[in-house]
Amino acid sequence: MGTKYTIIDSEIGKLLLASTDKGVVNISFINADPEDKSAFELEVASDLAQLQRSLKTGAFVQDDSAFSEAAKEIREYFAGKRKEFSFKQDKTLSNGFTRKVHDQIAKIPYGQTATYSEIAALIGHPGAARAVGTACGRNTLLFSVPCHRVVATNGLGGYAGRLDIKAHLLQMESVATQ
C-alpha cells in the first residue's frame, strides 16, 4: 500500500489528495496555475515533500485509482449531491488542541456555520477563538473537516483557500454570507 497521491479537478481548481494505509490524510488546494507546468509541478512536489516530512514516511507515489471513492465523493459534494463524506480518513496530522477543534468542526452540519468563539467554547476553551482560527488553518482534510463553515462573529473570517472560495462553498451550501 504505502503513501499515494492524486490530483483531481474541482469547480474551485485542482486539488491534491494524499493517503496513507489508514486513509486520506490530505485534501488541499493547488494554487499554482496548471498552465504553468513548472510552477504547478514544483508546488505539488513541495506539498508532497512537506507531507512526507510531517508523516515521517517514504516518498508518495501517484496512484489515481487509490482515490476513486474520495474523488467520487468530492465531485458529488460539488454537484450538491453529498452532504457528508464516508471515505476513510487518516487524521494523523491533527493532534492535541488542533484535533479537538477539527473533531468539533466535523460536527457542523452541511448548510450551517459556527463562529470561532462557539467552537472554542464547545471544546472547553472559551476565549481561544484565535487559536481555533489557527487550528482551522492547519486543516489538511478540506471539505471533510469543513473549516469553511467556521466564521467570524462579524463576517467570514479567514480561510487558507482564499475568502472567495470560502464564500463560494458557503453559498453552494446555501448559507447566507455577508
Catalytic residue positions? Answer: 147
Question: How far is it, in rounded angstroms, from Cα 47 to Cα 162?
Answer: 18
Residue with cell string 454537484: 79
Question: How far is it, in rounded angstroms, from Cα 176 to Cα 167?
Answer: 9
Q: Cβ distance 24 to 83 under 8 Å?
A: no
Task: Render 140-173 in DSSP notation, one character per residue.
Answer: SBTTTS-GGGEEBTTB----TT-HHHHHHHHHHT
Pairing of strands 23-29, 4-10: unpaired
Closest CA to 95 of 130, 160, 57, 139: 139
